[in-house]
Amino acid sequence: MSHDPNCLFCKIVAGQIPSRKVYEDDQLLAFHDIHPWAPVHVLIIPKLHIASMAELEDTHAGLMGQMAVLAPRLMRELGVTNGFRTVINTGQDGGQEVYHLHMHVMGGPRPWAKG
Ligand code: AMP
Ligand code: ZN
């Protein structure tokens, strides 16, 4: 399934739920997390509905690479100069709450609210 009508992040991709977008291309979307842990906290997601990292297949390797490459670029553009943290929560024990693959990218001066 490339789009899940019940998925929160698919609704954000479709524009049915608003988000504070920071980046968009054919494959990816990035937007500010609604409950930031850090002064800068964005989520990078594929537009394709992939429920979690546990569902990744070989064909997704390029997409994951694009997400990884986008993270430092967005941090630079958002003025983060002293390092950042990337987190991908997977499944129940991984603490995943939204089942559409996403990479948290957090930066900015400490202390942070969390993490
Ligand atoms: P995770 O626990 O890795 O699944 O994280 C899900 C993240 O999505 C949390 O950090 C939430 O704050 C964030 N989130 C949930 N709903 C929204 C939304 N409508 N817009 C932006 N971020 C959201
Ligand atoms: Zn989805």
84 inside domain: yes
**% of the chain with per-residue pLDDT over 90:** 97
Structural domain harbouring 58: 8-107
Closest ligand by atom to 17 CA: 1
* Confidence at residue 72, expressed as pLDDT on a 0 to 100 scale: 98
- Per residue in 18-32, pLDDT tens? 999 999 999 999 999
80 inside domain: yes
Closest ligand by atom to 104 CA: 1
2 inside domain: no
Domain count, the chain: 1
26 inside domain: yes
Going from the Cα of 45 to the center of ligand 2, the distance in angstroms, rounded, reads 9
- Per residue in 62-79, pLDDT tens? 999 999 999 999 999 999
CATH number, position 95: 3.30.428.10
12 inside domain: yes
Three-class HEC string of the chain: CCCCCCCHHHHHHCCCCCCCEEEECCCEEEEECCCCCCCEEEEEEECCCCCCHHHCCHHHHHHHHHHHHHHHHHHHHCCCCCCEEEECCCCCCCCCCCCCCCEEEEECCCCCCCC
Catalytic residue among 41, 49, 100, 102: 102
- 115 pLDDT band, cuts 50/70/90, is confident
